[in-house]
Structure 1
Amino acid sequence: MLSLKKSLDILKKTNALLEGHFVLSSGLHSSKYIQCAKLLSFPYLANEICKSLANKIKKKYNKIDLILAPAMGGVIIGYEIGKLLKKETIFCERVNGKFKLRRGFNIKKGANVLIIEDVITTGKSSLECVKLIKKANAKLLGFASIIDRSTIKSLKIKTGIISHLKIEVPTYSEKQLPQKLKSIPITTPGSRFIK
């Protein structure tokens, strides 16, 4: 099992842990942002984190039929976990602002589906994926992510999340911004607002 210190060292080494003023895809503001795409751009460093997450998933679920990942952030981690667990892995992508299955992907009726993301803050993207699972009359097993940065206040998911790392980073609505954060220029990372 990878230690917290070693995990944070890998995130910093790959420039995946950023500091500044960010508007997250949830619309919330934060002083930190985890850009897992940077972590995953170094497969040899991300490998240990992926193995750790895959082991946690194996301990919790023994019957996974399919892994579903939301594009963009979940695509690579979904692929890596699917490879480690030897499971079919598909992704959904936004079409006119809503997640759809494309590219010939489908979810079989009755399939046990695990949703995998890079980072979960509110769980909004994951809950959008749940709609696709329900529409297919399949079964949601649960949620997994490299980083869980949710709080009881922010999380819309009511099921437990399996994550490699739980990071507590305060988030704020625009109306509740601390003065220190207001003075830093805003960066809008993520892919939810990409047209």
Structure 2
Amino acid sequence: MNIRDCYLRADALLEGHFLLSSGNHSPYYLQSAKVLENPKVAQELAEALAQQIREYGLKVDCVCSPALGGILAGYELARALGVRFIFTERVEGVMTLRRGFEVSCQERILICEDIITTGGSALESARCVESLGAEIVGFAGLANRGFCKRVGSTLEAKSEGKLPSHLPLFALEDFVFEIYDPTSCPLCQEGKLPAIKPGSRGN
């Protein structure tokens, strides 16, 4: 399925002046919540992603997502794979496993986000459950912003990408948009409206 069309139909491929979690600015933003509010679409996207993972031959016991943005995508992926689902969340700035969730020693866990940008939050989540004895077997997202190399893509990883190169990353498509350092952002220099942050940590 064409994930780009899914974002366009849901008015989830936003254009404007956006502040990203990295602190950089961009004229585009993927608002996955608008896509995933439709359960049928969320199921279809997760099944397409699960098919990639099965074809790769990856064995997964559990899917784990960083809250808040990854929860819907991760839950649907876990359901498509027929495995359990857990999530981590930040407590005083530190990614933590709470709410009675536990992992077993060497349990094979796939980390799932809605959007993989540099992979920072996914890596925090991975380190959290890994410290409790789990084995991280890969990463996944509905879309990859092009900083990390995904399975099946010709794009190479960029220096900003934080995911470990020896583990596979699965995503349905690469979305490569312009990103600017705030000190040299042309949108700021043109006098555009201040950058807004429409993600889970902003408005």
Match of 2:197 in 1: 188
Matched, 1:153 2:159: yes
Within 2, Cα distance between the matches of 1:189 and 1:153? 25
CA distance in 2, matches of 1:171, 1:153: 14
Tell me how far apart the structure 1 counterparts of residues 142 and 190 of structure 2 sit (CA, whole Å).
29
Q: Which residue of 1 aligns with 2:150?
A: none
Measured after TM superposition, the shift of residue 178 of structure 1 is 2.0
Q: Measure how far apart 1:48 and its partner are.
A: 2.4
Q: What per-residue deviation string (whole Å, max 9, x for no partner) do you get for residues 78-132 of structure 1?
A: 1101111110110011111111111100121111110000001111101111221
Task: Describe the SS at the equivalent of 2:87.
Answer: strand
Unpaired runs of 5+ residues, structure 2, are 148-157
- C-alpha contact (below 8 Å) 1:52/1:164 kept by paired residues: yes
Instruction: Check the 8 A contact 1:14/1:42 in 2, yes or no.
Output: no
Gaps of 5+ in 1: none
**Map of 1:78-89 to 2, 5 A cutoff?**
78-89=74-85
Q: Which residue identity lines up with residue 32 of structure 2 in the other structure?
A: C
Task: Using structure 1 for the length normalisation, give the TM-score.
Answer: 0.90
Displacement after TM superposition at 1:133 (Å)? 2.5
RMSD: 1.8
Alignment partners' CA distance in 1, 2:191 and 2:169: 34
Query: Which AA in structure 2 matches 1:44?
Result: K
The DSSP-based 3-state class of the residue aligned with 1:50 is helix
Higher relative contact order (CA 8 A, sep 6+): 1
Please point out which of 23, 37, 56 is paired with 1:41. 37
Q: Which amino acid aligns with 1:108?
A: S
State TM-score, norm by structure 2: 0.86
1:182 deviation in Å?
4.9
Deviates more, 1:63-72 or 1:177-186: 177-186
2:172 corresponds to? 164
In structure 1, the residue matched to 2:185 is 177
Letter in 1 for 2:162: K
Question: Contact 2:63–2:110 at 8 Å: present in 1 too?
Answer: yes
Structure 1 residue runs of 4+, over 3 Å off? 179-182
8 Å contact from structure 2 (residues 17, 187) kept in 1: no
Farther-moved stretch of structure 1 (35-44 vs 127-136): 127-136
Q: Could you tell me how far 1:183 is from its partner in structure 2?
A: 2.8
More strand by share: 1
Distance 1:73 1:179 in 2: 26
